[in-house]
Amino acid sequence: GDSVTQMEGPVTLSEEAFLTINCTYTATGYPSLFWYVQYPGEGLQLLLKATKADDKGSNKGFEATYRKETTSFHLEKGSVQVSDSAVYFCALSDRNAGGTSYGKLTFGQGTILTVHP
């Protein structure tokens, strides 16, 4: 079945440091890939997405590239801010060859990021 594995946290960085959160996946079809973020006291929000191999999703300075050959979708940001402190979830929604989603979103276990001034 589908699965998503994220690097274990928590991750603690100083402001302006470079961030990488690793994510690898297993899927039987042609999945869409997502990163969601959960800020303290708030609900999950879609951060970025990619729907096919070599696509790059980007938002708020974060980027992730869909790498089919390594089944990965690592999240990166060149210079983190204190306001980026949150829990980050990698997720996939598998699809058939025609691009129709099977529907279910499968999430990784989440990575807690804390950024200090």
Partner 1 sequence: GAGVSQSPSNKVTEKGKDVELRCDPISGHTALYWYRQSLGQGLEFLIYFQGNSAPDKSGLPSDRFSAERTGGSVSTLTIQRTQQEDSAVYLCASSLTRAGSVGGAFFGQGTRLTVV
Q: How far is the CB of 26 from partner 1 (least distance, A)?
A: 15
Q: How far is the CB of 24 from partner 1 (least distance, A)?
A: 14
Bridge partners (DSSP) listed for residue 113: 11, 86
38 beta partners: 44, 87
Q: Is position 77 an interface residue for partner 1 (rule: CB under 8 A)?
A: no
Q: Which stretch binds partner 1 (CB under 8 A): 16-24, 34-42, 59-67, 68-76?
A: 34-42
CA–CA gap between residue 67 and residue 63 (Å, rounded):
13
Which CA distances in Å does 92 have to 23, 29, 38, 88? 11, 11, 17, 14
Site for partner 1 in 1-30 (CB under 8 A): none
Binds partner 1 (CB under 8 A): choice among 14, 20, 28, 45: 45
Rounded CA-CA distance 106/24 in Å is 12
| Stretch of 16-24, 63-71, 75-83, 86-94 lying at the interface with partner 1 (CB under 8 A) | 86-94
Q: Does the protein bind partner 1 through residue 86 (CB under 8 A)?
A: no
